[in-house]
Structure 1
Amino acid sequence: MMMIPSFAAGQWVAPDSGARPIASAVTGEVIAQAGNNALDVAGMHAYARDVGGPALRALTFHDRARMLKALALHLTEHKQKLYDLSFETGATQADHAFDIDGGIGTMFVFASKGRREMPDAQIYLDGELEQLGRTGTFQGQHVCVPLQGVGIHINAYNFPVWGMLEKFAPTFLAGVPSIVKPATSTCYVTHLCVQLMLDSGILPEGSLQLISGGVGDLLLHTDAQDVVSFTGSAQTALSLRSTPHLLENSVRFVAEQDSLNASVLGRDAAPGTPEFDLFVKEVHREMTTKAGQKCTAIRRIMAPAAHVEAVIEALSARLGKTVIGDPRDPATRMGALVSRSQRADVLEKVALLGTQSERVFGDPEGFTVNGADKEKGAFLPPMLFHCADPDRATHLHDTEAFGPVSTIMPYRDADHAVQLLNRGMGSLVASVITRDGDFARQMVMGSAAWHGRLYFNNADSMAEATGHGAPMPHMVHGGPGRAGGGEELGGVRGVMHYMQRTAVQGSPDILTAIGRQWVPGASENTGGAHPFTKTFHEVQLGDTLYTPSRKVTLQDIETFAHFTGDTFYGHMDEDAAAANPFFPGRVAHGYLLLSFAAGLFVQPDPGPVLANTGLANLNFMKPVSPDDEIKVRLTVKKKTPRTEEYGQVRWHVTVTNQDDEIVAEYELLTMNAYA
């Protein structure tokens, strides 16, 4: 018997007399207890806010990203422990790839994005500068800072590891502590994951706490600095979302709830095509992975009327080969539902679906379970229904049987497919298997507003495609309407949910000091050594080099044209160039100006500048005619550590002519050694 504790205010707290029994999904035997009615949830909230928050906010985004990577590596080393325990939830070894490996992979992605897309700073600059005055002495910048509250994560039973880590990773990267409350039926797996993370010694004190059991009155201690993120049923989401205290205090609430996801077989994907076979394979996988207990699983299958029978035949054949049994057995392809009560709920929903559809595969009474007692475990077979008249039916568009259950229906044309997709009133994902670009565009135009993600796949992309039911941390996860109206993941977008966007206005010097990024018009450091002779640590924001002038001659233009092969008429034909509304006559190549600019500011000797890795935000502002002169201002705009040996320096480069008019502007990226 496992006694599953909570982790509160730095201490493990054992279950008390209010603990609930937890049964194995495979054997039906009670294997654990969890819950503590006396848990000091108010103290947990205060501890997270007063201890965890300041500790996290003292770190930079890069510091926190490095910790996420270290945690992901630590969990990878110990994931076999999570595998071994997770079998009790009914999950197979293949299911672990979605939950445990998927959760760890999500941490790796946020660690990478934190280092590559966010600054080594405590303030995130959101968008470009806005010039609010005529001369540029008063400007605006949107910034994002960590909320000074807590991320309260209330998770579903189906993904005890991924469900926690996909919320924890962006919250931690934002600089906000987390209180995690997993579903009690699988909290023993989440507990082990949290214990491994805490035992690593990587996490700052107060940054992660665990509630095993009920949350008590935790939500009544929240305010506008907190975020409540919920995954589960629409009924529970509505109950939590409607808590008067949350409404009165404008507490951010994110919900991912019921979703009648669908998959559409394209009008071009006839039997015998790779797309048809792919469609059947994807539906089969979504019906059987995690025994259909996925928020992204395919509940509604749509096929051209002429191909419905072929889909039923092919899908039934694949489902018939699916071995149901003890998830520890390598031969098992589908394990159990999480509990006998969940099994009963699915059967109740199946009975409702059966009033408007015909079951064409799967008998919930007459099926075989290998290596386990189906009377004690929470086993069901995959069940496929056929609804011949989806326009008149209602249940298949508003009832989700959260298990290995799906319904196939015919559509007449693209417009009809869109109508059926949207009847679900909001989903996390809809997939379309097609090579027909026009059909794909019709699906997007007609149905994107009702779906959080549209997944297209065909023979061209199938080798690399991640699957209908796999939310990727790079892309947003969530959906409108029935799906909850929330949004998670999405790379840095997911981090922003735990930050406050604030408009900051002031002078260039003030904005430079706030954002740790030089703003045009701010003070410049023009004395001392050439900035290219300074190491990454020596060079400072605002370090500026003004170069002497160089005349651009007609011979320079012609030499560059013949040497590069760029003999565009604007550079070579006076009359044709003069007829062009952008040119006064023959003008210099833009890339010639960039080359001359580099020649003016580059320091040629070996030094800390290791490489020029690119240009960004290049704009040519005004043409340069023969015998014009150009000069350069080179200023250190931003510094970002990259490895243990070097970091990236972003330089603001302005090229002006003899009248001090800007002819080109861009950002130069170099890698500079630390020493």
Structure 2
Amino acid sequence: MNPFTEQVIAEVPDGTPEDAVAAVLAARTAFNEWAATPLAKRTQLVHDLAEALRARRAELIELTIDELGAPRRDASASQVDLPIDVLDWLAEAADEVEFKSTDGNVTVLREPFGVVSCITPWNYPLHQLVVKVGAALVMGCTVVLKPSEVTPLSAIVFAEEVNRVGFPAGVFNLVNGRGPVVGEVLASHPEVDFVSFTGSTAAGTRVAELAARTVKKVSLELGGKSASVILPDADFDFAVKQTVARCFENSGQACSALTRMLVPRSELARAEDIAAVAASEYLLGDPRDPQTVLGPVVSDAQRARVRNHIDRAIDDGARLVIGGSEQPTDQSHGYFVKPTVLSRVTPDMPIARDEVFGPVLAILGYDDVDEAVRTANATDYGLSSAVWGTNANLVDEVARQMRAGQVIVNGGAWNFRAPFGGYKQSGLGRESGVFGLEEFLEIKALRA
């Protein structure tokens, strides 16, 4: 479904358990030969794949706009260009991996893990595919991919180009389908050695349960409720505006979105004013229009979920600063949610604890820095966070106390060389960077 037009734009195969089993067995058959393929040949094929995708850049951008509803500028930069660049980088970074080391009479080898099931989400369909599949292929694993049934089209282009550039048969396999049908087979099949999953914490828990039956390795990149802590001495205008921007990224459909903004209680009114102005500048509209800043959310079900969160927060006593749950008056169709800011939120409210996955920012007040840290850490999640301030020692101290896998310090730029993953119920393992490559390697010790 196109989330702007609300019309069907494509049909894809509804995979069966038998399809999933066939793909797993194909990957198992291809594994030994692929694992033994020289690293230089594997990396060259991945570079060739990146170039092939780059040649289809314009098509991939249009597909992403249509299936996700991402505005054109986001579809270009973060949804297509970035993952293609990451694919090239993964091939280059393989040289940084230490495949063999010695310590006295012990030689430690790092070897391809085996057959990997990659189950990817709908919010960054090509990028989340690349960081898993690209890393696995470079490291010598064979792969079965199940993309989200909500945004499957870029994965089909990826599969076409894998085939065209000459990867051996069975090294990469694509099975479209639904999680309870295809995903459960890929998480439980005894010939799968490793399951790499990105999605909700509830679905990730199910994947882990299924994988545990045959003691598979599991990497889980799950939900988040990331806090942006603005310290009393911060550049307040900059910090608030940047928090709004990082909350509304991808229409708020990012697991690492900064959805909770913590400010000194005495500055609540000021924070509300700045956030309201910033949010009002997010122009809603047709994702194909270059002027559009905020597109629709991905589906009618997602829109209903986000709207329910907004209404519940207001019922719980939160103050609606801007936005709300109603359809924007200037949009007769499309799964739109107004850019919304809620204030006077307390840590016990669901809006402060639950992942919303929409353009909704919650503002919470604090009386001292210790309370800010406690509040920031008072969730089941720990994926990302941010700290803003001019006292470098205090900023560093607060950043180190944050129970999160990533801490943005004064707006630090994203770097795909950094490991990405979370604490607590935000998941297990890391993606991106050399750490992400090493996830796909098993460790063997030889004692002489």
Place the TM-score, normalised by the shorter chain, in its bin: over 0.9
Partner residue, 1:66: 44
1:114 equivalenced with 2:94 (yes/no): yes
What does residue 147 of structure 2 align with? 182
1:349 deviates by 2.0
Question: In structure 1, which of residues 348, 353, 367 is the aligned counterpart of residue 328 of structure 2?
Answer: 367
Q: CA deviation at 1:366?
A: 5.9
The residue number in structure 2 matching 1:420 is 375
- Cα contact 1:488–1:494 (8 A) shared by 2: yes
Is structure 2 residue 335 aligned with structure 1 residue 387? no
Q: What CA RMSD, in Å, does the superposition of the two structures yield over aligned residues?
A: 1.9
- 1:632 match: none
Distance in 1 between residues matched to 2:421 and 2:97, nearest whole Å: 23
Q: 1:241 aligns with which of 186, 208, 219?
A: 208
Counterpart in the other structure of 2:100: 125
Residue 56 of structure 1, aligned match among 29, 34, 37: 34
How many Å separate the matches in 1 of 2:172 and 2:437? 16
Q: Distance in 2 between matches of 1:318 and 1:220?
A: 46
The Cα offsets for residues 600-640 of structure 1, whole Å up to 9 and x where unpaired, read as xxxxxxxxxxxxxxxxxxxxxxxxxxxxxxxxxxxxxxxxx
Aligned to 2:125: 160
| 2:438 is the alignment partner of 1:496 | yes
- Counterpart in 2 of 1:633? none
Higher RCO (C-alpha under 8 Å, 6+ residues apart): 2
* 2:108 counterpart residue number: 142
Kindly provide the CA deviation profile for residues 244-288 of structure 1, in whole angstroms up to 9, marking residues without a partner as x.
Answer: xx223211111111210111112211xxxxx33331332222233
Q: Is 1:481 matched up with 2:436?
A: no
Q: 1:400 and 1:259 mapped to 2: Cα distance?
A: 6
Counterpart of 1:203 in 2: which secondary structure?
coil
Q: Which has the higher helix share?
A: 2
Q: How many residues align?
A: 440
Q: Name whichever of 303-312 and 331-340 sits farther off.
A: 303-312
Q: What secondary structure, in the 3-state scheme, does the structure 1 residue paired with 2:11 have?
A: strand
Separation (CA, whole Å) in 1 of partners of 2:328 and 2:6: 18
| CA distance 1:494–1:80, change in 2 (3 Å) | same
1:47 aligns with 2:12: no
Residue 527 of structure 1 is matched in structure 2 by none
1:95 is the counterpart of 2:74: yes
**Residue 91 of structure 2 aligns to which amino acid in structure 1?**
A
Equivalent residue runs for 1:583-598 within 5 Å: none
Counterpart in the other structure of 1:277: 237
Q: How many angstroms apart in 2 are the aligned matches of 1:473 and 1:445?
A: 21
Asked if structure 2 preserves the Cα contact closer than 8 Å seen for 1:27 and 1:373, the reply is: no
Taking a change above 3 Å as real, the CA distance of residues 169 and 411 of structure 1, as seen in their structure-2 partners, is same
Match of residue 362 from structure 2: 407
Q: Which residue of 2 aligns with 1:210?
A: 174
Distance change (3 Å), C-alpha of 1:58 and 1:386: same
Give the match's secondary structure for 1:184.
Answer: coil
For residues 565-644 of structure 1, the aligned pairs below 5 Å read none
Query: Structure 1 492/61 Cα, relative in aligned 2: closer, same or farther at 3 Å?
Result: farther
In 2 relative to 1, CA 366–172 (structure 1 residues): closer, same or farther, beyond 3 Å? closer
Q: Structure 1 pair 401/335, CA: closer, same or farther in 2 (3 Å)?
A: same
CA distance in 1: counterparts of 2:327 and 2:126, whole angstroms: 33
With over 3 angstroms needed to count, the CA separation of the structure-2 counterparts of 1:150 and 1:38, relative to structure 1, is: closer
Identity of aligned residues (%): 25
What is the aligned partner in structure 2 of residue 230 from structure 1?
197
- Conserved? CA contact 2:79–2:127, under 8 Å: yes
CA distance in 2: counterparts of 1:162 and 1:68, whole angstroms: 15
Residue in 2 aligned with 1:322? 282
1:221 to 182, 189, 195: 189
Q: Are the equivalent residues in 2 in contact too, given 1:349–1:400 (CA < 8 A)?
A: no
Aligned equivalents of 1:503 and 1:196: distance in 2? 37
User: How many Å separate the matches in 1 of 2:398 and 2:302?
Assistant: 34
Q: TM-score, normalised by structure 2?
A: 0.93
Task: Give yes or no for contact 1:55–1:205 (8 Å, CA) kept in 2.
Answer: no
How far apart are residue 38 of structure 1 and its match? 6.5
Tell me how far 1:130 sits from its aligned partner: 2.0
Distance change in 2, residues 1:213/1:248 (3 Å): closer
The structural deviation recorded for 1:39 is 4.4
Unmatched runs of 5 consecutive residues or more in structure 2 = none
- Aligned residue identity for 1:113: A
Instruction: Note if contact 1:181-1:212 (Cα within 8 Å) is conserved in structure 2.
Output: yes
- Provide the secondary structure at the position in 2 that maps to 1:47: helix
**Correspondence for 2:228:** 263
Q: State how far apart, in whole Å, the 2-side matches of 1:292 and 1:344 are.
A: 14
What SS is found at the alignment partner of 2:321? strand
1:235 CA drift (Å): 1.2
- CA deviation vs aligned residue, 1:468-507 (integer Å, no higher than 9, x gap): xx4x331111111121233222x2221222111111122x
Match of 2:352 among 397, 407, 412: 397
Q: What SS does the corresponding residue of 1:435 show, helix, strand or coil?
A: coil
Instruction: Identify which of 94, 118, 138 aligns with 1:173.
Output: 138
- Structure with bigger gyration radius: 1
Aligned-residue offset at 1:192: 2.1
Q: TM-score, normalised by structure 1?
A: 0.63
Aligned partners of 1:297, 1:314: CA distance in 2, in Å?
19
What CA distance in whole angstroms lies between the structure 1 residues aligned with 2:328 and 2:332? 12
Aligned to 1:301: 261
In 2, the alpha carbon distance for the partners of 1:351 and 1:150 equals 45
Deviation string 1:373-399 (CA, Å, 9 cap, x unpaired) is 33xx211111111125x35x2323321
- Using the alignment, how far apart are the partners of 1:65 and 1:38 within structure 2? 32
- The question of whether the paired residues in 1 share the 8 Å contact of 2:162 and 2:172 is answered with no
Match of 1:79?
57
1:158 Cα shift?
0.6
Amino acid at match of 2:322: F
Secondary structure of 1:186 counterpart: coil
- 2:386 paired residue number: 431
Measured in 1, the distance between the counterparts of 2:15 and 2:212 equals 27
For residues 485 and 258 of structure 1, what CA distance do their matches in structure 2 show?
A: 11
Distance 2:92 2:265 in 1: 46
Distance 1:221 1:409, change over 3 A: same
Structure 1's unaligned 5+ residue stretches are 1-22, 132-138, 270-274, 507-675
* Higher mean C-alpha displacement, 73-82 vs 358-367: 358-367
Asked whether the equivalents of residues 349 and 401 of structure 1 are also in contact (C-alpha less than 8 Å), the reply is yes
Which of 406, 424, 441 aligns to 2:396? It is: 441
Contact 1:324 1:368 in 2 (8 A): no
* Shift in alpha-carbon separation, 1:38–1:277, aligned structure 2, 3 A: same
- Cα deviation, 1:154-203, whole Å, max 9, x if unaligned, reads 1111111001001112111110011111110111232123223322x242
Deviation by residue 1:78-133 (Cα, 9 ceiling, x = unmatched): 11100011111210122222221221121122122113x147xxxx125xx322xx
Q: 2:344, 2:429 → 1: CA distance?
A: 30
Q: Tell me, in whole angstroms, the C-alpha distance in 2 between the residues paired with 1:218 and 1:268.
A: 50
Instruction: Give distance in 1, aligned partners of 2:332 and 2:167.
Output: 42
Q: Extract structure 1 runs of 4+ deviating beyond 6 A.
A: none
The answer to whether the 8 A contact 1:397-1:423 is kept is no
